Amino acid sequence: MSSHDDERARPGPTAPDATTVEALGSLSKALETVERARGHLYGFHQLTGTADFELDRAVVLLRAAGHHAWADRVETELLGRNVIPGSWTYQIVDAYNETYYEPFRAVERAAVSALAGGREHRFEARLQKVRRTPGHPDHAPAEGADA
């Protein structure tokens, strides 16, 4: 069976009630939001690193233009600077992953496993079934999948 099959096709204790499915859908949506936040954090990390490496070029050009005091200042005050006290961006990413992301993901996975037999996206599968137009070729389930 596909992950998007009809809940009625799997009767018995593994089919959670509608409220449980909705709760797991909310939990998964929250995880998806955390995934997006994590992506932004990686973007912050990469952009900050790119800016730091561009400082090398600025220092070289300032020296070439005869602005040695400014080159020294950029080099000593900005190049390789912590973004928060004691930390570079990779350390922020690592701390976020260890302290927040990994536990969040583990709880979501455990809840899906315990309450939905490990099947993800049950909420979306129910929406898909309800929102399809019967007989419309672009609304038909994938070949081999249960409708």
pLDDT tens digits, residue range 50-81? 999 999 999 999 999 999 999 999 999 999 99
Domain for residue 108, yes or no? yes
* More confident of the two residues 21 and 94: 94
- Asked whether residue 135 is assigned to any structural domain, the reply reads no
Tell me the pLDDT band of 41, cut-offs 50, 70 and 90. very high
Give the count of domains, the chain. 1
Rounded CA gap, 89 and 43, in Å? 10
What pLDDT does residue 8 have? Answer: 41
Q: In this predicted model, what pLDDT tens digit does every residue of 104-144 receive, in sequence order?
A: 999 999 999 999 876 666 656 666 766 677 887 877 777 76
Tell me if 9 is assigned to some domain: no
Q: ∠ at Cα 141 (120, 138), nearest 5°?
A: 125
Separation in Å, CA 39 to CA 31, 35, 44, 101? 12, 6, 9, 11
Q: Residues 44-54: what's their mean pLDDT? A: 98
Instruction: Give the tokens for residue 145.
Output: 């999948």
Q: How confident is the model at residue 145 (pLDDT cuts 50, 70, 90)?
A: low
Q: Three-state SS for 135? A: coil
Q: Say if 24 falls within a structural domain.
A: yes
- Looking at 65-101, list the stretches that DSSP marks H as alpha helix, in order from N- to C-terminal side: 68-77, 89-96
Range of the domain at 97: 16-130
Quote the pTM value: 0.73
Q: Is residue 80 part of a domain?
A: yes
pLDDT at 2: 45
